[in-house]
Amino acid sequence: MGSRVQAASRCRDSGPAFGEVSPEVIEAVLVRLATENERHLSELPEGAGCFKEAQIVEFVFLLSEKWRLDQAVRYQAVELLERFLIKQVEQISKASGKSTKAREQGGGSSRSSLEDQICNTFVLRLVSCVQLASKLSLHYNRVNSDTALKFLQSLKYSYTKQELLESELAVLKTLHFQVNVSTPLAYVELLLEVLGYNGCLLPTKPLHQMCIQLLDFSYLARDAIYDTLLKIAVENSTPSNLQVAKFLTVKEDFMLLAVGIISTSMFVLNPGYWQQQAAAHPCGQRDDPPPWKATVAIAEACPAHVMWKHSPCRTVFYY
């Protein structure tokens, strides 16, 4: 019995251990993440970010919380779900031309069939994405089929274990099994490691905890934050369609998001330091660095941070 308790204690997550990695490893990982981020931005699909609506993100976050999953899992699940749904939309777009020909020949509409399939299986696919994300975090809890089915049954769905397995496989095949991608949390934790190595004055652990809270918030209030950031950047309360389209790379830039999250966290934990910076670098000027603008955008939206904690949706998960 004692050995089991000790084993459980060793497996319990105490958060990341900063300051344990050599400078060479930090540099190598930083280069890899920067390269991955640049590639991600250069290959952005047209609909990037459209499936990160607050209600979808909240559903994933609350489900991850209910199952006591690691913080990284919730972000991984959101990113997996969005990439999967974008691929599904691309399939619908390709099917449009075929459905036109089919109607001319008296056949059915493949586009309509795909749209119905996405709507009817949305919750199932969301659960599958959370399951897959939990399996990528090997040293944390994994969501097994029984747990997932029990949750789906509580929502009055009557899926079988076979259908659940087929759903996971459908997500994997659609994404060509490329599911282990970096999330903004990886960028945040790496940059915190860099800050610690360079002698950051703030303790890393409370800074990391604040970053987690603000990263959650940035996902939940994504539209409000980036709308504010765009207006600050273009100095116009009504940006043009072209400006909105060009801004997509900013919204999907994980490195920029990580810098904004850390900057805002430092502002919250040590406002005196940032008051000095504000005096030296007034906000709203064209030469303001993007991370400072990101900090302003997140800080301006922060009053809404507590809203999701009191959301009615929580009753679906805690009944």
Q: How far apart are CA 52 and CA 78, in angstroms?
A: 7
pLDDT tens sequence for the chain (319 residues): 444 434 444 444 556 777 777 888 888 999 999 999 999 999 998 889 989 999 999 999 999 999 999 999 999 999 999 999 999 888 877 776 665 555 555 555 555 666 777 888 999 999 999 999 999 876 567 899 999 999 999 999 999 999 999 999 999 999 999 998 889 999 999 999 888 877 776 778 889 999 999 999 999 999 999 998 899 888 889 999 999 999 999 999 999 999 899 988 988 888 776 666 556 655 444 445 455 555 555 545 544 333 334 343 444 444 3
DSSP string, 55-106: HHHHHHHHHHHHTT--HHHHHHHHHHHHHHHHHHHHHHHHHHHHHHHHHHTT
Q: How far apart are CA 291 and CA 261, in angstroms?
A: 9
DSSP 218: H
What angle (nearest 5°) sits at the alpha carbon of residue 67, between those of residues 159 and 170?
Answer: 40
Q: How far apart are CA 284 and CA 232, in angstroms?
A: 6
pTM over 0.85? The answer is: no
Q: How far apart are CA 108 and CA 112, in angstroms?
A: 9
Give the pair of three-digit tokens for residue 208.
């990391």
Determine contact, residues 306/254, Cβ cutoff 8 Å.
no
AA letter at 175:
L
